[in-house]
Chains A and B, each alone.
Chain A
Amino acid sequence: MTGAGGAVAKLAIENVSKEFEVGQGKVAALADISIEVRAGEHVSIVGPTGCGKTTLLNMIAGFDFPTRGKIRRDGKEITGPGPDRAVIFQQANIFPWLTVRDNVLFAAKWGTQEDGRPLGGKGAKEYEVAADSLIREMGLSGCEHLYPYQISGGMKARTALARLLLFSPQMLLLDEPFVALDAQTRSSMHRLLMRMMKGTDGKSVVLITHDVDEAVLLADTVYVLSRRPGRVVDRIDVPFGFPRDYAVISRDPKFLACRYKVLDRVEPMTIKDED
């Protein structure tokens, strides 16, 4: 498989089910999910709304725990959140009271590793230098000292991504990070993400999305979940290396075949409004 590292599972989701207590009853959100993410593998998870995608991501991140089954990272069961699995949430990602630059610096500067060392692992001066070059690379030059209310949605998304990239986590967990963006901005974010991931192998990505094109473009492997309770109904390999150029790859029959395989799985589960 291209784009993937060794055969060791970086992240192993083993027969995970999740139920929520709601009033007297229980809601099953996920049923018997098994997914493996290798080091350096990029995984997309698609599925109809409410099928438990965010729930799954929260459990990988360590904010919540499975009702049954286990989630392991490097063989160890996950017991809570940690900077080794950096999350971009569905919303509210950057702090409105900080400038773009301070947002980018935030995690690396103030976060700590498991053993209490600073998250960025460098001196304060070095972060600032690294942050400034990251800001330039992500096309945020000139916005460093603006506040979130003064910048566009695309810039906010880039700021949120830059904040994580600055401390270089081993795994990125992305919950529909680009939904709020227009098509052009979204595809520039795709290019950016692929560029940023290039050459940093060992870094795994779990991306949750509704957008089939996005799922296929950004993944080595796409998992399709069923309606609630979510189970894995299909696993589709996308045998192309990174970075990928959408304009080129989207005309490749092999790529199109992957895309239609995912689409054919997702389509029947979307809620139709004609009946």
Chain B
Amino acid sequence: MVEERRDERAGARRPSAEWSWWRLYRNSPLYPLTFAAVLLLTWQFVIARYGFPGVPVRYLGSPLGAGEAFVRLLLHGYSGNPLWVQIMASVLRVVTGFLIGASVALPLGLLMGYYPAVGNLIAPVLNFLRPIPALAFIPVATIWFGTGETAKIVVIAMTGFLYIVLGSWLGVRSVPQDYLRAARNYNLSPVRLLRLVVMPSALPHIMTSLRTGMALCWAVVVAAELIAAQQGLGFLIEDASTFFKINTVYVGIAIIGLIGILIEFIFAAVERRLLHWVGR
């Protein structure tokens, strides 16, 4: 789909047979990886060797060094725990927090949209809280709940909640009037109206807010673990950096990025299934 549109913009040239090798490459997964490969090679063979202005060479690390660190992490884990335990610690926190946040946010958002009196009452507070970076609340949560799991999950849940509640509220408000009128015309019961018209119509907004909410939660978990944790990717990065194990830090960062992509990928797949009818 995206591919097709890009071709249209480029003037939809007819594919020519002569460039078949180029086309093969152009359509292979290697193509989008080329740029990343160039960056890594430059880093390995230019920057890691000749240095980077302002940074001592021994702190630069290198892609090969990070590869070695990754193998070490796989074989020996980190600070007494296998690598997958570190990863799962972060993932579990995010999933728990996200699910708690979303399961409060969705009904509340729908309620706010359904009854404008409720929406107008609650919205100002939510709109005030939403732009505040979750990081600002981490110290508060730590004072209230200590350095255990609760504080981290509360902050993650709140981050997801704020984003999702406003998204689903917007979704309900943007249900076209004609759909609601059709529903009133057929005398739909309130429950059916919600289930059969409002929810599906609001679903695109809801999905977008879930997706963005999840991405924000993932960003927040790492930040929360930087401050106080004995496990997790944030802890791994923070701990490795205090010992100047720069290549291990890189591995932690790369895993965070890859999981972020994986999350996007899962959401995109779900959206393709649920929302194929949108926007055509």
Which A residues have a C-beta under 8 Å from some C-beta of B? 61, 63, 80-83, 85-87, 89, 91-93, 95-97, 106-107, 110-114, 119, 147-149, 167
Q: A97-B200, A97-B277, A147-B276 are in contact. Are A110 and B186 (CB under 8 A)?
A: yes
Q: How far is the CA of A114 from the CA of B189 in the complex (A)?
A: 11
Q: Is the CB of A83 within 8 A of B178?
A: no
Expressed in whole angstroms, the Cα–Cα distance for A97 and B185 within the complex equals 19
What are 24 contact pairs spanning A and B, CB under 8 A?
A61-B185, A63-B181, A80-B184, A81-B181, A81-B184, A82-B187, A83-B187, A85-B185, A87-B181, A87-B185, A89-B181, A92-B178, A93-B178, A93-B182, A95-B201, A96-B277, A97-B201, A106-B186, A106-B196, A110-B188, A112-B187, A112-B189, A113-B187, A119-B187
Verify B277–A147 contact, CB threshold 8 A: yes
Contacts of A63 in B (CB 8 A): 181, 184
Q: When the two chains form their complex, are residues A119 and B277 in contact, meaning their CB atoms are under 8 A apart?
A: no
Kindly provide the distance from the CB of B189 to the nearest chain A CB, expressed in whole angstroms: 6
A114 nearest CB across to chain B (Å): 7
Are the CB atoms of B182 and A149 closer together than 8 Å?
A: no
Q: Check if B206 is an interface residue, CB within 8 A of chain A.
A: no
Bound state CA distance, A83 and B187, in angstroms? 6
Find the residue from A85, A87, A167 having the highest chain B CB count within 10 A: A87
Residue B273 is within 8 A (CB to CB) of chain A in the complex? no
Say yes or no: is B203 at the interface (Cβ < 8 Å to chain A). yes
Find out whether the CB atom of B197 lies under 8 angstroms from the CB atom of A95.
yes
Give Cα distance in the complex from A167 to B192, angstroms: 18
Are A107 and B186 in contact (CB-based, < 8 A)? yes
Kindly identify, within residues 232 to 273 of chain B, every residue whose CB is under 8 Å from any CB belonging to chain A.
Answer: none
Residue numbers in B under 8 Å from A119 (CB-CB): 186-187
Tell me, in angstroms, the Cα distance from A241 to B189 when the chains sit together. Answer: 39
**Shortest Cβ gap from A33 to chain B (Å):** 21
Q: Does B6 contact A (CB under 8 A)?
A: no
Query: Which A residues touch B197, using CB under 8 A?
Result: 95
**A112→B188 contact, CB < 8 A:** yes
A/B pair count, beta carbons within 8 Å = 63
Instruction: Please report which residues of chain B, range 131-189, place their CB below 8 angstroms from some CB of chain A when the two chains form the complex.
Output: 176, 178-179, 181-182, 184-189
Given contacts A82-B185, A111-B187, A113-B187, 8 further A-B pairs with CB under 8 A are A61-B181, A81-B185, A87-B181, A95-B201, A110-B192, A112-B188, A119-B187, A149-B280
- A92 contacts B179, C-beta separation under 8 Å: yes
Q: Does A114 lie within 8 Å of B187, measured CB to CB?
A: yes
Q: Is the pair B278, A81 in contact by a Cβ cutoff of 8 Å?
A: no
Q: B19 CB to closest chain A CB, in angstroms?
A: 34
List chain A residues, Cβ under 8 A from B203. Answer: 97
Do the beta carbons of B200 and A95 come within 8 Å of each other?
yes
Distance in angstroms between the alpha carbons of A86 and B182 in the assembled complex: 9
Hey, which chain B residues are within 8 Å of A110, CB to CB?
186, 188, 192, 196
Complex CA distance for A137 and B183, rounded to whole angstroms? 25
Q: What is the bound-complex CA distance between A92 and B185, given in angstroms?
A: 14
Contacts of B181 in A (CB 8 A): 61, 63, 81, 87, 89
Residues of A within 8 A of B188 (CB): 110-112
Nearest CB in chain B: distance from A119 CB, A: 6
Q: List A contacts of B192 (CB < 8 A).
A: 110
Complex Cα distance, B179 from A63, in Å, reads 13
Task: Let me know if B179 and A95 touch, CB within 8 A.
Answer: yes
A92 CB contacts on chain B under 8 angstroms:
176, 178-179
A27 to B278, CA, bound (A): 37
